Structure 1
Amino acid sequence: MRSVADALRSCAMPLGCPVGFLERHRVATVQRLGDDQPVVRTFVRDEVGLVSIPCRDEIDLGLDPAEVQELIAITRLEASPGSVIELRSARLTVSEDPAAVEVLDECTIAPVPRVAGMLVFDPRRDVLDMLRHDVSPLEWNEGGGNLDSPHRVGALQGGVLVALASVDAPQGRLARVRVLVSPQHRRMGYGRAVLHALVRQVLKQGFIPVVRLAMGDLAARALASTVGFVAFARSLTLHVTRVDAVTPAET
């Protein structure tokens, strides 16, 4: 893809992170959350090694080379939420499934699909409510229903909203897109239609569409692939539940 360098820069800039941290092997850093519990955020590209996302407020876990290699191995596995990684200087708890980060650009986007239903752009709130009442609150949130989205594309069938694609506010040149489809209308082409229409809008505005999908969500990954998304990285979030003898990072 021609957009890999732009995607790397977009990941690095909002974090105050040199692009080199996202290209080469680095020792894990941690990011402090609001409750002061550190969290390690990593992603792996092309099986090269562990890549961590530093931030301005970070601490040093003091991992030795053997522990770094162990953490690299963990990020390559499909670790289950709640599993614990015991290291010499830290105990890390996996807080979410490893996720596939995939991006799309003009070189990978698939041809325009046959439209299922009628597409509607930036549907009104009362139209959105048609789909909101047809899915669980969790699906609605994760699918972008509650986002203050700058752009949305929906699909109507029989005058009812059955699918919706939304985009987050861009970070750098990356714009995360999300899709939600009514349970009764899945695997019928509606998700592909709204996702394709939305990413075309995102590309025209000069941004790079990105999706973050659970590694085990094969249906969502298959949908993204049919539109033209390709693997960019794998990410994992690990909460530090105990840290021994940490030292503040130099500023």
Structure 2
Amino acid sequence: MSGSTVVKPRKVLVARHGLTTRITHWINALALSMLLLSGLQIFNAHPALYWGQASTFASPWLAMTAEPRGDDFAGVTTVAGRRFETTGVLGYSDTPRGFPAWATLPSYRSLADGRRWHFFFAWMFVINGAIYLITALLGGHLRRDLWLKRAELAPRHLLREIVDHAQLRFPKGEEARRYNALQKGAYLSMALVFLPLMVATGLTMSPGFNAAAPWLLDLFGGRQSARSLHFISAAVIVAFVIVHLLMVMASGPWNNIRSMITGRYAIEIKGADQ
């Protein structure tokens, strides 16, 4: 033996998420879930999407329909002119409807109730988002933790992070104290692009709001274009949430969930030979 002592790595808890970030995160998760389910209920009232101001019923770019098939029906989803049979999920699931009952709020067919749920949680989402953005700006969270540095935007750096994530290799030790470039880019695009776009296009579909801000119709190319963009932004947000949850599970679910509840995140400090 050389007499040297090997110091084993030890885990320490470090501060990662502030109280406001944690509270708004969980409220956001609830609001977005309810908005998605109630939004699909509203979509089911007319499961088709168009571009422009008016609904051109003969040529939707996306439509979910039930077509007679013998003694029963078949669900057919059309996207940009291409038809896909989606029986049991889209177009037809026990009854003709765009999305199935388990994916809507309420589960029964009711446009009025779907709107009530949607508008209630829309206000919760907007107020909660405003609180998050204001506190993130004033408290420095946006600049300190989320804003991308020039070095992080270098193609070589981004490529390395993409490869690491694809191979499920996540930051360890001191690097795990802060968000990486992919996380920052994803969170910023949600907070500053897709979530505000979803709110703005939702307002554009309101005839009452059009009277106060008619320029929104011109900005988004008409009410039906706004409806399509609202649907697309919601789909992007759903995809983000799915990837986010997969990354949480792959990188250590308990550690990630604990950090969003208590604010403390465990990192491993490597030892050294002495």
Length-normalised TM-score, structure 2: 0.28
Structure number having the greater strand percentage = 1
Higher gyration radius (CA) = 2
